[in-house]
Amino acid sequence: MSRKRTMSRGAAPLICLSNFRLRFFLLVALCQFAVPFQVNNKPNRNPLQGCASQTVLLAKGGESPNSFEKVTTSFKIGKWEELENNFILRPSIEQGPPRAVIHFLGGALVGASPHISYRYVLERLAEQGFLIIATPYTLSFDHLSTCDMVISRFERIAGQIAQTYGALPVIGMGHSCGALLQVLITSLFPDTPRAANALLSFNNKPVTEAVPFFEEVFVPFFTYAAALNETSRPRGSEVINTGLRLAQSAAKGEIPSDELLSKALRLLVPPPFYSQGPFTREDSFVVPPAVRDAFLRLTAPTTTALSNAEIVPLVVEVLQALEQIPGLIDEVALGARDFDPTPIRVKEAARRAYRARRTLIIKYTDDPIDESNEIEELLQAAGQIAVMKRPMMVDIDVQRRDLPGGHAAPLIAPPLELAKRIEDILGADAAKDGLRYTEADETVSAIVRWLEDSDL
């Protein structure tokens, strides 16, 4: 069920391995779990295919087909909570009620695990008294479906947040592609109001400019890898997804499910041999329960230690983020050649319908793909149009801050707790210079100063 919006519907691809390399990768992963097995004609359910519950905040709505499916785990990252597929970070109780809710969307690909990719920046903002809700999303050419999914997840926890803290202003914050999505949400989804927006490294380039050699290299390569209309070789997206799920099991110290092992085997064995030997399409690769239990007991101490050190959850989150790649490959193979809406239509929508009364635009001085200048002009024009339509409306205030750093400035930083420990040893300035998170720190300071000066 699609929510109300004011424009019709439309991300950038990544890399894929050759068919031989994909099969070789699967074979290596499968060999790591070489244990006694038996053939069973009744396939078992794959517990790794469970989907974490999704999330929403202000209105009812269903997930789009491109919604981001994740394997539910018990792993935790710092003080982050996962609720309805949102990652939440609450300010400390000693600080009193939150000052506002910051709804954060990360950049392309890294936005699938925002609580890891942007951990320092978001934890610093929570330390300043803001309630952080970081919503992961799947990168897609269809930006409006992505917005639908993001809003839906955000709204599913709105009631709980309101019951706990009362009414709080919502500030949209996004980096790169996340900033673009915040602009679309504020312009085309009138049922999702924003008290203010903070746009970091805004970018609205067409695919051909955002991805070098897109038409010449990526389109033919992805079309071949997808193998959508071929029966002589497995689909590239299926091979990659299976390999990533095998890797997740390895990272968690588990033997993959029988169903996943069977699927990997079928992908590795050439089609002419499917009907020969002990394995057929109907057969299942079964690991005896006793072997599974013994393996878990053997790996439990190491897995527990690595989990406590936050290494296992980090690896699992990265692998889950990579699950976006197969979908992008299939989208290109099915004909996607630009984002929807196109950059031109995004500009039109922002100029005519942008509604946030306070906006901070952060431009990094060493960012060649930044388009902060354009969005600043568009939002200023939007303010003038809004006043013409409704003369009594409060003016739209657009401010810009130019900060040192490159496009990845908000990403380059250690976890806050680790940064504090290093600062205690080396001193704040030396730690920031040595670990190169001065730009991330200045980003937080600029946002906090702007929020404090804003009348929200």
Quick: pLDDT tens for 94-141.
Answer: 888 999 999 999 999 999 999 999 999 999 999 999 999 999 999 999
What is the pLDDT at residue 239?
86
299 lies in some domain: no
The model's pTM is 0.76
Give the CB-side neighbour count of residue 361, counting CA atoms within 13 A: 22
* Domain, as residue range, for 373: 79-206+341-453
Q: How confident is the model at residue 11 (pLDDT cuts 50, 70, 90)?
A: very low
Look at the chain and report how many structural domains it folds into: 2
pLDDT at 155 over 60: yes
Rounded mean pLDDT of 392-402? 84
Rounded to the nearest angstrom, the gap between the alpha carbon of residue 13 and the centroid of all alpha carbons in its chain is 14
160 lies in some domain: yes
Which of 301, 320, 337 is a domain's end point? 337
Helix, strand, or coil (residue 290): helix
267 lies in some domain: yes
Cβ–Cβ under 8 Å, residues 221 and 35 = no
What is the pLDDT at residue 265?
78
Rounded mean pLDDT of 304-328? 81
118 lies in some domain: yes
Residues 201 and 259 in one domain: no
Residues 160 and 241 in one domain: no
Cβ–Cβ under 8 Å, residues 238 and 225 = no
Residues 250 and 370 in one domain: no
Residues 138 and 237 in one domain: no
What is the pLDDT at residue 44?
35
Residues 144 and 215 in one domain: no
Q: How confident is the model at residue 273 (pLDDT cuts 50, 70, 90)?
A: low
Least confident span in 94-98, 182-186, 272-276, 364-368:
272-276
Residues 194 and 221 in one domain: no
Residues 175 and 232 in one domain: no
The secondary structure of residue 80, as a DSSP letter, is: -
229 lies in some domain: yes
Rounded mean pLDDT of 140-156? 95
Residues 159 and 251 in one domain: no
Residues 333 and 421 in one domain: no
Q: Which amino acid is at 79?
A: K
Q: How confident is the model at residue 339 (pLDDT cuts 50, 70, 90)?
A: very high
Rounded CA gap, 73 and 70, in Å?
A: 9
Q: How confident is the model at residue 17 (pLDDT cuts 50, 70, 90)?
A: very low
Residues 86 and 180 in one domain: yes
Least confident span in 52-66, 76-90, 162-176, 442-456:
52-66
What is the pLDDT at residue 75?
60
Rounded CA gap, 452 and 456, in Å?
A: 9
What is the pLDDT at residue 6?
56
Residues 172 and 137 in one domain: yes
pLDDT at 369 over 80: yes
Residues 331 and 376 in one domain: no
Q: How confident is the model at residue 27 (pLDDT cuts 50, 70, 90)?
A: very low
> According to the 3-state scheme, what is the secondary structure of the chain?
CCCCCCCCCCCCCCCCCCHHHHHHHHHHHHHCCCCCCEEECCCCCCHHHCCCCCCCCCCCCCCCCCCCCCCCCCCCCCCCEEECCEEEECCCHHHCCCCCEEEEECCCCHHHCHHHHCHHHHHHHHHCCCEEEECCCCCCCEHHHHHHHHHHHHHCCHHHHHHHHCCCCEEEEEECHHHHHHHHHHHHCCCCCCCEEEEECCCCCCHHHHCCCHHHHHHHHHHHHHCCCCCCCCCHHHHHHHHHHHHHHHHCCCCCCHHHHHHHHHHHCCHHHCCCCCCCCCCEEECCHHHHHHHHHHHHHHHHHHHHCCHHHHHHHHHHHCCHHHHHHHHHHCCCCCCECCHHHHHHHHHHHCCCCEEEEEEECCCCCCCHHHHHHHHHHHHHHHHHHCCCCCCCEEEEEEECCCCCCCCCCCCHHHHHHHHHHHCHHHHHHHHCCHHHHHHHHHHHHHHHHCCC
What is the pLDDT at residue 296?
84
Residue 360 vs residue 253, higher pLDDT: 360
172 lies in some domain: yes
